[in-house]
Chain A
Amino acid sequence: MGDKAINSFEVEAKELLAIMEDSLLQLENNPGDSDLINAIFRSAHTIKGTGGVFGFDNIVEFTHVVENVLDKVRSGDVDVDSELIALLLSCTDQMSVLVQIAVDGDEELDDSVRENGESLHAQLNGYMDGTDSASLSKEIVDSIATAEDIMVADHWHISIRYDKEVLQNGMDPISFLRYLDRLGEIISVTILHDDLPDLADTNAELCYLGYEVNFYGEVDKAQIESVFEFVVEMCHLHITPPKEKIDMYIEMLDQLPDEEMKLGEILVATGAVTQHELDDALREQSELNEDVIQEKLGEVLVKEHIVHQETVDAALEKQAQVAERIKSQNRVLRVDAEKLDKLINLVGELVIAGASSNLLAHHLGDERLLESMSTMARLVEEIRDSALYLRMVQIGETFNRFQRVVRDVSKELGKNIKLEINGAETELDKTVVEKIGDPLMHLVRNSMDHGIESAEERKAAGKPEQGILKLNAYHDSGSIVIEVIDDGRGLSREKILDKAREKGISFDENISDHDVYRMIFEAGLSTAKEVTNLSGRGVGMDVVKRNIEALRGNVDVTSEIGKGTTVSIRLPLTLAIIDGFLVGVGESSYVIPLDLIHECIELNQEEQKEVATQSYINLRGEVLPFLRLREFFKDNAKEKSRENIVVVQFGNQKAGFVVDELLGEFQTVIKPMSKILQKLQGISGATILGSGDVAVILDVPTLVQRATHLADPSHKVGKAGDDAPVLH
Chain B
Amino acid sequence: MSFEIENENGKCKVKGELTIYTANKFKDEIQKCVEGSDQIELDLSAVDEIDTSCFQLLMQAKKACDKSDKEFVLSKISPMVQDVMHLYSLDQFFEPQTRHV
Contact B56 A172 (CB under 8 A): no
B contact residues around A640 at 8 Å (CB): none
Please name the residue on chain A nearest to B89 by beta carbon: A189
* A204 touches which of B34, B57, B64, B90 (Cβ 8 Å): B57
Q: Is A353 an interface residue (CB 8 A)?
A: no
List residues 192-214 of chain A with CB under 8 A from any CB of chain B. 193, 196-200, 202, 204-205, 207-209
Contact B27 A189 (CB under 8 A): no
Contact B60 A202 (CB under 8 A): yes
Q: Is A173 an interface residue (CB 8 A)?
A: yes
Secondary structure of the A contact surface, majority rule: loop
B contact residues around A209 at 8 Å (CB): 52, 56
Given A172-B51, A189-B88, A204:B59 Cβ within 8 A: no
CB distance from B66 to the nearest CB of A (A): 11
Given contacts A186-B87, A191-B90, A205-B20, 18 further A-B contacts (CB under 8 A): A167-B20, A167-B52, A172-B52, A174-B51, A178-B87, A181-B87, A189-B87, A191-B93, A196-B60, A199-B27, A199-B61, A199-B63, A199-B64, A200-B31, A202-B56, A202-B60, A204-B53, A207-B56
Cβ-Cβ contact count across A and B, 8 Å cutoff: 70
Q: Is B23 an interface residue (CB 8 A)?
A: yes
List residues 34-89 of chain B with CB under 8 A from any CB of chain A. 34, 51-54, 56-57, 59-61, 63-64, 84, 87-89
Expressed in whole angstroms, the Cα–Cα distance for A202 and B88 within the complex equals 20
Q: Is B30 an interface residue (CB 8 A)?
A: yes
Q: Is B24 an interface residue (CB 8 A)?
A: yes
B contact residues around A172 at 8 Å (CB): 20, 51-52
Q: Is A177 an interface residue (CB 8 A)?
A: yes
6 pairs of A and B residues whose beta carbons are closest in the complex: A204-B23, A204-B27, A199-B60, A199-B64, A189-B89, A204-B24
Contact A174 B84 (CB under 8 A): yes
* A198 touches which of B20, B24, B64, B88 (Cβ 8 Å): B64
Contact A197 B60 (CB under 8 A): yes
CB distance from A274 to the nearest CB of B (A): 25
B contact residues around A168 at 8 Å (CB): 20
B contact residues around A178 at 8 Å (CB): 87
Please name the residue on chain B nearest to A198 by beta carbon: B64
Interface centre among A172, A173, A196, A204, by most chain B C-beta atoms within 10 angstroms, is A204
Contact B52 A173 (CB under 8 A): yes
CB distance from B50 to the nearest CB of A (A): 9
27 examples of A-B residue contacts, CB within 8 angstroms = A167-B52, A168-B20, A172-B52, A173-B52, A174-B51, A174-B52, A174-B84, A174-B88, A181-B87, A186-B87, A191-B89, A196-B59, A196-B60, A197-B60, A199-B30, A199-B60, A199-B63, A202-B27, A202-B56, A202-B57, A202-B60, A204-B54, A204-B56, A205-B20, A205-B23, A207-B53, A208-B56
Please name the residue on chain B nearest to A162 by beta carbon: B52
Contact A205 B53 (CB under 8 A): yes
Please name the residue on chain B nearest to A181 by beta carbon: B87
Expressed in whole angstroms, the Cα–Cα distance for A199 and B70 within the complex equals 14
CB distance from B79 to the nearest CB of A (A): 15
Q: Is A188 an interface residue (CB 8 A)?
A: yes
CB distance from B4 to the nearest CB of A (A): 18
CB distance from B19 to the nearest CB of A (A): 9
Given A168-B20, A172-B52, A205-B53, A198:B60 Cβ within 8 A: yes
CB distance from A182 to the nearest CB of B (A): 13
Q: Is A652 an interface residue (CB 8 A)?
A: no
Expressed in whole angstroms, the Cα–Cα distance for A515 and B73 within the complex equals 98
Expressed in whole angstroms, the Cα–Cα distance for A204 and B56 within the complex equals 8
B contact residues around A190 at 8 Å (CB): 89
Expressed in whole angstroms, the Cα–Cα distance for A181 and B20 within the complex equals 23
A contact residues around B54 at 8 Å (CB): 204
Interface centre among A178, A193, A207, by most chain B C-beta atoms within 10 angstroms, is A193
Expressed in whole angstroms, the Cα–Cα distance for A202 and B56 within the complex equals 10
CB distance from A210 to the nearest CB of B (A): 12
B contact residues around A205 at 8 Å (CB): 20, 23-24, 53
Given A189-B89, A191-B90, A199:B52 Cβ within 8 A: no
A contact residues around B30 at 8 Å (CB): 199
B contact residues around A177 at 8 Å (CB): 87
CB distance from B72 to the nearest CB of A (A): 11
B contact residues around A199 at 8 Å (CB): 27, 30-31, 34, 57, 60-61, 63-64
Expressed in whole angstroms, the Cα–Cα distance for A159 and B4 within the complex equals 36
A contact residues around B52 at 8 Å (CB): 167, 172-174, 207, 209
